[in-house]
Amino acid sequence: MDPVVCSSCGARFAASGLTKGDHDALYNQHYYEVFSEELRMLLKVQQYFRRHPDAKGCITPHFARVLASDEWEVREQLLAGVPFDEIELPPEQLPSTWRHTREDAEVLEYLHTNHFALEPRLKFVVEEVERLIRSERTARCSCCHDGLVRVAPEDWDAFAPTDAIT
């Protein structure tokens, strides 16, 4: 199914039917939404670390724990090419004081699935949101000329070439 859809008339069409300006606007729209959501989570992480400064650097994804492990069995599995998610590690022992609210649980889940240095990543994401907020993020429908077109997140892969550098 064609990934570009009009909010007014519902027309769907392929990305090849867009002008370069409209194509760029849809890219900007998509990445503005992606970076805005990431910024929302990074700010929650920042607040979490302010409440629990001793947690900084202690909550990491499984793959990072595997790479940091000095256990011989883990190293042998890595050298043998065992996929990261198949390498067993002892359960992570987090103090119960680090899990107070539903928001804390959301932050812990985010930290268990993402690996980054908070301050440089936060700076980069803020700069991207600021850049994208000033960019053109709307494109008019070429069929009805009234509606705005967009690409739903679930259709993004059909819109963006898989070999594109974005």
Residue spans of beta strands (DSSP E) within the chain: 4-6, 12-13, 149-151
Give the mean model confidence (pLDDT) for residues 125-154.
Answer: 92
The strand pair at 149-151 and 12-13 is best described as unpaired
pLDDT digits (tens, 9 = 90+) for 3-51: 999 999 999 988 888 899 999 999 999 999 999 999 999 999 999 999 9
Contacts of 14 by beta carbon, 8 Å cutoff, 6+ apart: 2, 3, 4
pLDDT at 57 over 90: no
Q: What is the average pLDDT score of the chain? A: 89
How far is residue 37's CA from residue 48's CA, in Å, rounded to a whole number?
17
pLDDT value for 162? 53
Return the percentage of the chain with pLDDT > 90, whole number: 61
**Cα–Cα distances in angstroms (integers) from residue 8 to residues 29, 74, 148, in the given order:** 17, 55, 7
